[in-house]
Amino acid sequence: MSGIADIPVSRVEWKGAVRIIRSAFPPIDLFEDIADPADWPLLISAEQKTNPRIMATIGNLDLVPADRRVGGGGASYLMAPFTHVSTDRPSRFTDGSYGVLYVGDRFETALFETIHHHARFMKRTKEMPGWTSQFREIVMSVDADLHDLRTLAGNPDPALDPDSYTASQALARHLRGSGSDGIAYPSIRNPGGECVALFYPDRASNPLQGRHLDYHWNGTRVDLVRDAGSGAVFRVIDLPIDPV
């Protein structure tokens, strides 16, 4: 891997960036309805007296520094990746002990990234072919100074290994510990696309729900994507996706 000191920092300003998440997770009322994060600790303390399960909904708020929390409409989409973490769910830039907000530069990038990970999950479950999980598109803005790996696109750098997260997690752990806001990197699953891995929720803003999507599993791969709103079905090929 390139020396950490040699990694440049670039300003990333994206409008219309996209994250695709499972629809199984509803918005969290605390993050959505109470705009001022400074009020959250007292509200949580009061709510726990009558609802002991509230922390299962909110997650571990202590994982997000108080001055970096965000509230208001759509805040669940920014906060939840940081308060609901587990070492059973590692990813490219975290071992699961802290949260990361992954966002693609456009819809196709987010789609192909999630298709890859959904296919890996489906292979482990050995489910029969069919329409499987529902997803939702979240459109947002990104504005951050990030350590930039995008110049490494196409190079065999360990941090961009398509099959191993060992080097990338070590890099991220060091950068985050050194005060970095996150990493910009070339999409591993959508050549030509770009992604960011944000270490804090306040580096993204204006999250809006877009389309609802269904993924079809054919027993080997995700081969179809359906727009649940319009009913349009698209066949997944290498690039791009074509209407059926």
pLDDT tens digits along 135-154: 999 999 999 999 999 998 77
Using alpha carbons only, what angle is made at residue 235 by residues 232 and 239, rounded to the nearest 5 degrees?
A: 120
Instruction: Name the one residue in this structure whose structure tokens are 């598109």.
Output: 137
Rounded Cα–Cα distance for residues 222 and 211 (Å): 18
Pairing status of strand 182-186 against strand 130-148: parallel
- The percent of residues above 90 in pLDDT, for the chain, comes to 69
- Beta bridge partners, 217, equal 130, 222
Per-residue pLDDT averaged across 10-20, rounded? 98
Question: Which residues are CB-contacts of 11 (< 8 A; sequence separation ≥ 6)?
Answer: 144, 145
- How many Cα neighbours within 13 Å face the side chain of 111? 23
Per-residue pLDDT averaged across 86-103, rounded? 97
Rounded Cα–Cα distance for residues 67 and 188 (Å): 32
CB 104, CB 192: distance < 8 Å = no
Rounded Cα–Cα distance for residues 196 and 188 (Å): 12
Return the pLDDT at 71. Answer: 86
Instruction: Name the one residue in this structure whose structure tokens are 């580096």.
Output: 203
- How many Cα neighbours within 13 Å face the side chain of 69? 24
Instruction: Output the CA–CA distances (angstroms, integers) from residue 205 to 22, 70, 112, 140, in the order listed.
Output: 20, 9, 23, 6
Using alpha carbons only, what angle is made at residue 178 by residues 150 and 60, rounded to the nearest 5 degrees?
A: 95
pLDDT value at 111 more than 90: yes
Query: Torsion over CA of 227, 221, 80 and 109, rounded to 10 degrees?
Result: -70
pTM comes to 0.87
Which phi and psi (to 5°) does residue 225 adopt? -130, 130
CB 161, CB 88: distance < 8 Å = no
Rounded Cα–Cα distance for residues 150 and 192 (Å): 10
Instruction: Name the one residue in this structure whose structure tokens are 């009913």.
Output: 231
pLDDT tens digits along 194-214: 999 999 999 999 999 999 999
65 pLDDT tier (thresholds 50, 70, 90): very high
